[in-house]
Amino acid sequence: MEQQLDAIQEEIIRRINKLFQEKFDGNQRAFGRAANCDPKTIRDILNGNHFITVTLAFKMAYALDITASGLFDGLMLVDED
């Protein structure tokens, strides 16, 4: 299960990074302001050094003009039996 969760986390970060580049053109400070989040936290998340909490997912999704569920769309754990 841990490997699946790590892969899901990586995919969410990839999705956030893509939308972030499109909307904020790589400006982490502007993204942080829009998400009401410390730019250092933004940097750590985009670099894979910080887990995304539910609160951060909602804040970042809001700043990226997407729903939080949109970030998770199609991602799920599968039974490993």
pTM for the complete prediction? 0.87
Domains and CATH numbers, the chain: 2-16+25-72 (1.10.260.40)
Chain-centroid distance of CA 79 in Å reads 24
Let me know: does 45 contact 16? Beta carbons within 8 Å. yes
Residue 68 pLDDT greater than 80, yes or no: yes
Let me know: does 17 contact 64? Beta carbons within 8 Å. no
Let me know: does 24 contact 31? Beta carbons within 8 Å. yes
3-60 pLDDT tens trace: 888 899 999 999 999 999 999 999 999 999 999 999 899 899 988 888 888 999 999 9
CA angle in degrees (0–180, nearest 5) for 26-28-30: 100
